[in-house]
Amino acid sequence: MSYLNITEVESAVTSLAAVFPTAELIELPEPSVEGRAAHALRIGTAERGANDAVVLIGGVHAREWGSCEILVELAADLLEAHRDGTGLTYGGTSFTSAHVRSILDELDVVVFPLVNPDGRHYSQTVEPMWRKNRNPANSGGDPARIGVDINRNYDFLFDFQTAFHPAAGPRVSTDAGDLVYQGPSPFSEPETRNVRWLLDDFPRTRWFVDVHSYSEDMLTIWGDDDNQSAEPPKNFRNTDFDGKRGLAGDQLYAEYLRQADADDAGVLAEEFCSGLKAVRGRGYTPMTAFHLYPTSGTSHDYAYARHIVDTDKGKIHGFTVEWGKSFHPPWSEMEKIILDVDAGLVAFCLKALTL
């Protein structure tokens, strides 16, 4: 095996659904900009929606090739182990058959391995370092200005020029020629809308993990500023703090997060990292996303912010994995990274069941 092309990712997802009765194929409502269908899997023994859900997505940034394989392998591992009544072993990390059963019996595990098929195809056939989708709508006919960064296109502090301090320099752009172009409006892209649809379609989603590369981190919210749990008015909805967000270690602003939620996020990130480390010793760092760099419009912040903006929605703890130390490691190394991250994700799911 080596890196999967987009046809192979699709056929892996559809054949898992065909072979395993505990997997359900989910067709996302919108095709990509270039017209490609997208599919996810729901893994679980109960009726759809009867359990809390963990939603795992990957293949958002085109060049981060191994994310699709990580999620396809995780789905296959869980389904095969459950069918065969076995446990799972990833190097030095092991899970019992009872662990596997509890994940499938007590959760909806929703796996969406390829959010951005157009971008992955372009990255694998034309420009290996391509990151965005392939939407030409804002390019003015200039091929160098094609594409939107899907992970800046969510509805969270989208108007960053108003929200952030002029010196903050969040890693997001209004210029279609940039790698981190946010798009003309929140959810302007079908790929981003598909992820939102998945969260809406599983209203019992409590955990969301977006699989990216690279830097060997497990990122928790928030991405716009440091966290704090003492001053609720300092929050992303409060326009009194426009122009003050995004500076590190200052007194102007830090994003409010309830202490209990900060604690839960930290516990889950630690559990992911310790499950991963036991495989072969890789040390991933749990930290808030802001400590990587300030951002707006990312998936994990949007996922958590939903229940604050709309109190009818459930609370979703959002995370982003940044696996590995390069975008395209040799396949022999990628195979090891898949074991690392999948062990971390299984440990994450088991811990989530206890919270």
User: Which residues contact Zn ion by CB under 5 A?
Assistant: 61, 64, 212
Q: Where are the alpha helices (H) located in the chain, listed in sequence order?
A: 6-19, 66-84, 97-106, 117-125, 160-163, 190-201, 259-280, 299-309, 331-354
Least distance (Å) between residue 133 CB and Zn ion: 13
Largest CA distance in the chain: 57
Written as one letter, the residue type at 113 is P
**Pairing of β 88-90 and β 93-95:** antiparallel
Residue (of 63, 185, 207) closest to 125 by Cα position: 63
Are the CB atoms for 324 and 58 separated by under 8 Å?
Answer: no
Residue 212 or 244: the one with the smaller Cβ distance to Zn ion is 212
Residue 132 or 212: the one with the smaller Cβ distance to Zn ion is 212
SS (H, E, C) 179-221: CCECCCCCCCCHHHHHHHHHHHHCCCEEEEEEEEECCCEEEEC
Are the CB atoms for 224 and 275 separated by under 8 Å?
Answer: no
Which token pair is 100?
């596997």
Least distance (Å) between residue 70 CB and Zn ion: 13
Residue 58 or 275: the one with the smaller Cβ distance to Zn ion is 58
Least distance (Å) between residue 95 CB and Zn ion: 27
Residue 51 or 67: the one with the smaller Cβ distance to Zn ion is 67
Neighbours of 96 (CB within 10 A): 12
Residue 42 or 212: the one with the smaller Cβ distance to Zn ion is 212
Written as one letter, the residue type at 352 is A
Are the CB atoms for 118 and 133 separated by under 8 Å?
Answer: yes
Q: Strand runs (DSSP E) across 29-152, as ranges?
A: 39-43, 52-58, 88-90, 93-95, 107-112
Least distance (Å) between residue 310 CB and Zn ion: 27
Point out the residues that are catalytic.
322
Least distance (Å) between residue 152 CB and Zn ion: 10
